[in-house]
Amino acid sequence: MLNDVAIAIRPLAHHDPALGLPAYATAGAAGADLRASFAPESRAAGLTLAPGARALVPTGLSMAVPEGFEAQIRPRSGLALRHGLTVANAPGTIDSDYRGEVKALLVNLGDAPVLIAHGDRVAQMVIAPVVRATFAAADLDRTRRGEGGFGSTGVSG
Ligand SMILES: O=c1ccn([C@H]2C[C@H](O)[C@@H](COP(=O)(O)OP(=O)(O)OP(=O)(O)O)O2)c(=O)[nH]1
Ligand SMILES: [Mg+2]
């Protein structure tokens, strides 16, 4: 396991230092939890997502993911199970050349409003290696599958 990837993180002006930096909840966690960090004037109210609504939730953090890696912003299963709260673009992609604020694009797929409070762990971030390709126009080799897809091999048996 690659576990020595150092990532520089720059807390932004509206980041609440009390929230700390992304952290792994257990020794074997794949994802580091991300907390909602609202500007001081919005901290008391938080953000309420109506059913079907989505919002960019600020983390107050910018970071420099090393070249050759990405950060994936993924849902937390507990929030998805309890509230239908998930990441609309899961997995969100943080490019290694992005220096803006990391935000979680959350959507409420449940049937009740969901309150996102300041400091809540709203998503998790997985660091993953990236393979870059070169793309070239060419004729394609023949395969047994050919153009079959989207259920062409059936469901059972
Ligand atoms: O969940 C996300 C997804 C993206 N980003 C930031 C970091 C990422 O590097 C940048 C661009 O993301 P993406 O490539 O997914 O969006 P796009 O719609 O293709 O925008 P762009 O044209 O800026 O690449 O936005 C986030 O903060 N959170
Ligand atoms: Mg893009």
96 lines ligand 1 (CB under 6 A): no
pTM: 0.95
Cα separation, 69 vs 36, in Å, equals 24
Domain assignment present for 1:
no
pLDDT per residue as tens digits for the range 25-74 = 999 999 999 999 999 999 999 999 999 999 999 999 999 999 999 999 99
CATH classification at residue 111: 2.70.40.10
Domain assignment present for 56:
yes
Domain assignment present for 20:
yes
98 lines ligand 1 (CB under 6 A): yes
Q: How many domains does the chain have?
A: 1
Cα separation, 122 vs 31, in Å, equals 12
Cα separation, 35 vs 123, in Å, equals 7
- Cα 28 to averaged position of ligand 2 atoms, centre (Å): 30
- Cα 64 to averaged position of ligand 2 atoms, centre (Å): 16
pLDDT per residue as tens digits for the range 89-144 = 999 999 999 999 999 999 999 999 999 999 999 999 999 999 999 999 999 999 99
Cα separation, 146 vs 6, in Å, equals 43
Domain assignment present for 72:
yes
Domain assignment present for 141:
no
Instruction: Provide the terminal-to-terminal Cα distance of the chain, rounded to the nearest Å.
Output: 36
The residue whose CA has the least distance to atom 14 of ligand 1 is 93
Q: Is the ipTM of this complex over 0.95?
A: yes
Q: Minimal CA–CA distance to 144: which of 135, 152, 136?
A: 152
Query: Which residues constitute the domain of residue 46?
Result: 8-129
Give Cβ neighbours of residue 32 (< 8 Å, ≥ 6 apart): 22, 23, 24, 124, 125, 126
